[in-house]
Amino acid sequence: MTNTDLTALTGDYTIDPSHSTIGFTVRHAMVTNVKGKFNEFSGSLHLDGSNPSDSTASIDVKMDSIDTGAPDRDGHLKSADFFKTDEFPTMTFRSTKAEALGDEDYRITGDLTILGTTKPLTIDLEFNGAAKDPFGNERVGFEGKAEIKRSEWGLTWNAALETGGVLVSDKIKLHFDISAIKNA
């Protein structure tokens, strides 16, 4: 994509949750991966096509919207063993730094807050493009990924397995498919 195209993208955007996914993958019982997502979130982006390092992102996730496809597991994840959603209803990300890495690759660093604990998170992003949708909205798309250790945010519940190891991995893979609409 040329600089001219990127410059045209400069502006403020609202994340479209109906066309976006904030998800995760975690190793379960040392042998398989469990995937999940959050169904309710909101966020905004400020893109600066002339100077990508001036771009920002802000996302708020409703923790009660966690969905792993298993209602009992979701209930456990919302409980005091994990996310304590009654006490901590929202997970937030606020960017502090953006970098253009070349081609369509970017890196955004920011503060991720879970359970009232804030730690840095770096997300590698790929710019998927921009287009005008059939309704006249200017859209941009990004795919992103990151890894965290859940214990760094106080998410330490686990169970030992008879065969050794633990029920839930400490490492969580995060993935993002973001579609955002340029504000009028």
Confidence (pLDDT) at 7: 83
For residue 6, the model assigns a pLDDT of: 74
Query: Quick one: tokens of 64?
Result: 């009660």
Residues above pLDDT 90, as percent of the chain: 67
Cβ atoms within 10 Å, residue 15: 22
Mean model confidence pLDDT for the chain: 89
pTM: 0.88
Q: Scanning the structure block, which residue is given the tokens 């998170």? A: 121
d(CA 4, CA 109): 25
Q: Is 151 helix (H, G, I), strand (E, B) or coil?
A: helix
pLDDT of residue 2: 35
Question: In angstroms, rounded to a whole number, what is the distance separating the alpha carbons of residues 71 and 66?
Answer: 10
| CB distance 181 to 17 below 8 Å | no
Residue-wise pLDDT for 90-133, tens only, equals: 999 999 999 989 888 999 999 999 999 999 999 999 999 999 99
